[in-house]
Amino acid sequence: MTDQEPSSKAKKIKPKPDSESKKIDPLAALQQSAKAAPKKAAKKTTKKASTTKKTTKRSSKKTAEKPTPAAPPREDRVVNVISTPTLSASVPTAPKKIKPQYASFRSSRKSLVNPRRVRGGVKLKLKAGETPASWVMQRLLRVAETGAQNDVYKDGIEYARLGQTKRLTIEDTLCEGIIQGRSDKPYVATLGLNEFSAESQEKIIVAMADQVRYAAKLLAGELPSNIEDVFAPLGLKLFPAEPADISPECSCPDWTKEDPWCKHTVCLTSLLAERLGDDPMMIFGLRGMPGQELIDGLRQKRAVGVQGPGPAPVLHQHVPGISDISSAPLEDSIDSFWEVGRELDEMDTPIGPPTVNCVLLRRLGPSPFIDGPFPLIGLMATCYQLIGEAAMSAEETDSEFDSETDPE
């Protein structure tokens, strides 16, 4: 490079002349800076105010958009708990449609709830408005009507007609019915009658045997309507005449000792009345006196000492040690039916005159040959008597011969 061309890197600064440079006074500089300071501070404050206004506008917009958070609760606050929520595990579903229940029978009461239906239940044959044909049924229904209230009696008869009784048991002294009502489980109803003692039964048989008309109808399986005339002198009743003569019991909540006639006991009484109307002899079994034993007793009382043309019963005598032995069924002993066992020689069968003469002839009745030349029954009776006398004389001769030949 030549001396004429100046360098770009190193530039020479020419000093100012002394005439042009001013002298700086420190006191004056301090005064000027003190005067300029408030102006600069005012400018800064104006700038800060403008910036704060902008920030406040922005913050107001933000606060308008976002809600202000709630203040925290105080520590000394008092909380009153009104109710605590309960959590349920069931999921809410749509309500089910409930089908309307229609009455299965006509009823005068609108508030009556229908009982649960029973298939194949025991029904009362007597229809509404009909009069019972049997006097026995009329008497028992009258007792139930007297003991129960009017509405209860109607409901009980309606239960019997609908067949609400699942099971009816009339055996010996037991009269029990399982009756379905409005609840899920059926109720158990029973009817109790006072039983006759052994002494009373003997008196009843003797009183009936003394009166031919009662004995004849009872032996034929019939029960006369005036049968109470036999029991009244003995201080007894065969059929209940008032509610106190029956002891009804039921497992339903409406039954009480003070008021024992509920709709279930009325239903059972009506069914019992219908059964007794068909078979009146069942009343003796409910009194502890089976009908067959009554008939056997009447036959025995009538047969002893009775002579005449009428039929006489065949009595089954009780032999101790023989009648008590149970025999095998006939089907199982056909092959050995005619065989004689070893016990035959040990049996002692003394031959004697019968208690009642010509029992079989009396049982058979009069001869069918009315226009015969001779009385058949009289001829056969004479033959039986001669055969019996011959058998007894032969027994006597055999016993005398055995006593003579027996060495001592």
Task: Name the residue among 118, 105, 106, 141 with its Cα closest to residue 271.
Answer: 141
* pLDDT digit string, tens, across residues 116-165: 888 889 999 888 888 888 888 999 999 999 999 999 999 999 999 999 99
What are the domain boundaries of the chain? 135-303, 353-393
User: What is the end-to-end Cα distance of the chain in Å, rounded?
Assistant: 198
Q: What's the predicted TM-score (pTM) here? A: 0.49
Listing from the earlier edge strand, what are the strands of the sheet with 187-192?
Answer: 165-171, 174-179, 187-192, 247-250
Q: How confident is the model at residue 315 (pLDDT cuts 50, 70, 90)?
A: very low
> Which residue in the block uniquely carries the two structure tokens 């009461």?
109
**Average pLDDT of every residue of the chain:** 74
The lowest-confidence range among 43-57, 261-275, 358-372 is 43-57
pLDDT at 78 over 90: no
Q: Which of 9-13, 187-191, 317-321, 363-367 has the highest mean pLDDT?
A: 187-191
CA 313, CA 302: separation in Å to the nearest integer?
A: 9
